[in-house]
Amino acid sequence: MSLDKSIIEVKDVSFVYKSSNADRPDVTALSDMNLSIREGEFLAVLGRNGSGKSTLAKLMNALFLPTSGTIIVNGLDTTNEELLWDIRSSTGMVFQNPDNQIVGNVVEEDVAFGPENLGIPPEEIRIRVDTALETIGMTEFKEYAPHRLSGGQKQRVAIAGILAMKPKCIVLDEATAMLDPIGRKEVMRILRKLNTEEGITIVHITHHMDEAGKADRVLVIDEGKRVIVGTPREVFSDVKRIKKLGLDVPQVTELMYELNKCGYNFPTDILTVEEAIACLKQSLPSGKEL
Amino acid sequence: MSIIVENLSYIYMPDTPFEKVALKDINLKIEKGEFAGIIGHTGSGKSTLIQHFNGLLKPSSGRVLINGIDTTGKELRELRRDVGVVFQYPEHQLFEETVYKDIAFGLIKQNLTQEQVDAEIRKVIQTVGLKESILDKSPFELSGGQKRRVAIAGVLAMKPSILILDEPTAGLDPRGRDEIFGFITKIHETMGITVILVSHSMEDVARLVDRVIVMNDGQIELDGPVKEVFSDIQRLEGIGLSAPQISYMMQELKKILPDINDRVYTVSAARDDILRHLGAGGSRND
């Protein structure tokens, strides 16, 4: 699988929410967005509430259609209605609230919902459901009622439901926002696994900077515009700009930034504890025996 | 004393196959004016505990006293006025036609004149950092962050002496989060009310509160000043929690600099302590 092939192409896309009320103006949620997501990459999307992240996500599987510009998903133009099922089965979405997206009374039934709608033969569905549940490590819960699961487990079931449709890409719209730290870790681990082992492209919208730090690339959106794209290291090293955009950087990145303000010259692209320690070590008074 | 919890146990659906012990023999005292954080993973009992603080749940055994009132008594009205609870995603509870009416909902049930209600609404909307012009809008026209503040304003308008916030910034971006914590800190400082923050964010808890109560499996695992609780990283991890990234770094740093303060959990405190050491060596590398 080549990293150079793009799976989602966003070309000059604008999206306007038309106002139904004459007193209120239309709202432009995205303007002139250009983005190429490579097959097999793990992209994190950051931005303030209302910056256009969710709109972008919904454009990626034809829940919304661009007001202008085009979106090509897996080679398919999302405005072509006849391709809707192909588009939706190649790009699955996971939303913020796990309770809003589970439809089955039993876990395995929920996972089967997607492939059933695609008209897959029952024998094949059985295999896909079992494989999907095994991949996300939820086989032992397959006969559970979904309400007995934790938030993180529910989100994994939602992911399994998408996996059963054999997607090329999964778009997660703040899917970890309602989870506790354990649930977040579980979901991130699964996403990493799907990305590296199955080659599935991941688009992960999040407010958690530590999660964005683990992505291959980070896109920052502000007021409907693409403002920064780069590796987490590149993006977070500009602490001043990130803060100005109303976002955060990892604590150690901020620490180095603060120390530099006091006259030091530490690298600005530190993301982890280990990197921070390595840098600080070098600057410690070397003459003293510690 | 704001809150006294004595030998509190709580069992969901007792005497059924679904019986679940959610709280086991909890003892806790929270002083008037304290800013306490409650952390713990999902299912550890945090929500069950705070629902005892305004009498939504009654103890299966033991008792809970709020400002001296036993929550099993008949003074529920008084109790609920004293204790303001901001639940998770409180904006889901907005229901009135306008922001004004929504905030007024609790106030008009008290014996206040129209003028007093009006003055209180105008005051509280400023407290949460919104403009008066928002009062005539429908809550459903607002952004997520604005809705959240309106919902909190509705609770604050009742002038609770104890404010309980369950994940008040979940789903908000970092600036939205800072704005909400900004006015909460201010209310705590200026009005001297007791604030209890339930959160999954160790960084937020570390920055804001004086005392951390760690729940695990229906019991209090740790209870103490922030620096003590976050210095026990192994124990926190053992129960599925973590400490702020800076705590991990300072503990690592202590291995090479034994006299560094590893009970540090905010960026500014870490900076000051590290500067103290770097400065001593005079090895500024600029």
- As given in the structure block, the two tokens for residue B163 are 């404010």
Supply the pLDDT for residue A287: 42
Q: Which residue has the tokens 């339930």?
A: B198
Confirm whether A63 is domain-assigned.
yes
- Residues A266, A176, single domain; the answer is no
pLDDT tops 90 at residue B70:
yes
- A chain contacts of residue B143, beta-carbon cutoff 8 Å: 49-50
For A66, the 3-state DSSP assignment is coil
* Domains along the sequence of chain B with CATH: 3-226 (3.40.50.300), 244-286 (no CATH)
CB B9 within 8 A of CB B24: yes
- Residues A96, A209, single domain; the answer is yes
Enumerate residues 188 to 247 of chain B having a beta carbon within 8 A of any beta carbon in chain A. Answer: 200, 202-203, 240-242, 244-246
Could you give the number of structural domains in chain A? Answer: 2
- Residues A257, A178, single domain; the answer is no
Range of the domain at A258: 250-285
pTM confidence score: 0.86
- Residues A261, A222, single domain; the answer is no
CATH of the domain at A152: 3.40.50.300
- Residues A178, A267, single domain; the answer is no
Residue type, A100: N
SS (H, E, C) chain A: CCCCCEEEEEEEEEEEECCCCCCCCCEEEEEEEEEEEECCCEEEEEECCCCCHHHHHHHHCCCCCCCEEEEEECCEECCCHHHHHHHHHHEEEECCCHHHCCCCCCHHHHHHHHHHHCCCCHHHHHHHHHHHHHHCCCHHHCCCCHHHCCHHHHHHHHHHHHHCCCCCEEEEECCCCCCCHHHHHHHHHHHHHHHHHHCCEEEEECCCHHHHCCCCEEEEEECCEEEEEECHHHHHHCHHHHHHCCCCCCHHHHHHHHHHHCCCCCCCCCCCHHHHHHHHHHHCCCCCCC
User: How does pLDDT run across B100-141, given as a tens digit for each residue?
Assistant: 999 999 999 888 999 999 999 999 999 999 999 999 999 988
Confirm whether A208 is domain-assigned.
yes
Whether A49 sits inside 8 A of B145 (CB atoms) is: yes
User: How does pLDDT run across B227-248, given as a tens digit for each residue?
Assistant: 899 888 889 988 888 888 999 9
Among B44, B87, B34, B6, residue whose Cα is nearest residue B210: B34
Confirm whether A280 is domain-assigned.
yes
Confirm whether A1 is domain-assigned.
no
> Span B165-186, mean pLDDT?
93
Q: Which residues of chain A have pLDDT under 70?
A: 1-3, 285-290
The residues pairing with B65 across neighbouring beta strands, listed in sequence order, are B4, B70
Confirm whether A240 is domain-assigned.
no
- Residues A130, A209, single domain; the answer is yes
Percent of chain B surpassing pLDDT 70: 97
Does B285 lie at the interface with A, CB-CB under 8 angstroms? yes
- Residues A138, A269, single domain; the answer is no
User: pLDDT-based confidence at B284, cuts 50/70/90?
Assistant: very low
- Residues A31, A144, single domain; the answer is yes
Count CB atoms within 10 A of the CB of residue B190. Answer: 9
Supply the pLDDT for residue B274: 92
- B chain contacts of residue A188, beta-carbon cutoff 8 Å: none
- Residues A264, A145, single domain; the answer is no
- As given in the structure block, the two tokens for residue B162 are 């104890």
User: pLDDT-based confidence at B279, cuts 50/70/90?
Assistant: low
Whether A252 sits inside 8 A of B275 (CB atoms) is: no
- Residues A271, A179, single domain; the answer is no
- Residues A264, A131, single domain; the answer is no
Enumerate residues 41 to 80 of chain B having a beta carbon within 8 A of any beta carbon in chain A. Answer: 41-43
